Amino acid sequence: MLCPITTRSAALTLILGALALSGWGAFAYAGRSSAAMERKLTEQVSRLGIERDQLLAERTRLQESVGEVQGRLAAAREEQSRSVRARDQARAELASAQQQLAALTKRFEQAKTRGMQARAITPPPAPIRIAQRVKQQVAQAWSALVPVPPARIPERAKEQAR
């Protein structure tokens, strides 16, 4: 017969062995799980590092783009202010020209009135009327002329003249 202590000790050894095996199994599982988790986290850290570098590069590119746009905006504002100054100057010149035109128109009307009054009072002197009549006669005479082609000089006559 077996001794009860031996059975107990065998059962205890068996239980302790099973517990030890399950403990070591859990430890191995945790170790593998931990290694897998560590690899996963390492990959995630490297992926985040790459994304961070890409975002920094894009940020730099956007800052350069913003600087360029701000430069163009400043140039456009300067061009606008030059255009506004040119427009204001053109308006001032237009107003001045309109005033000068009004003054000249007034002087022209006054001179025209004085000229009409002078013509009504005194007829043009006789030599002016005669000159006008002669001009008209000359113009009529020229209009009545028929154009004649120029005469040709024979070649021999040119050679003899030499």
Q: For residue range 44-66, what is the model confidence (pLDDT) as tens digits?
A: 999 999 999 999 999 999 999 99
pTM equals 0.40
User: What does the pLDDT look like over 84-112, one tens digit per residue?
Assistant: 999 999 999 888 888 988 888 888 888 88
CA distance 60 to 153: 90
Q: Is the pLDDT score of 10 beyond 60?
A: yes
Cβ-Cβ contacts under 8 Å for 123 (sequence gap 6 or more): 129
| pLDDT of res. 4 | 56
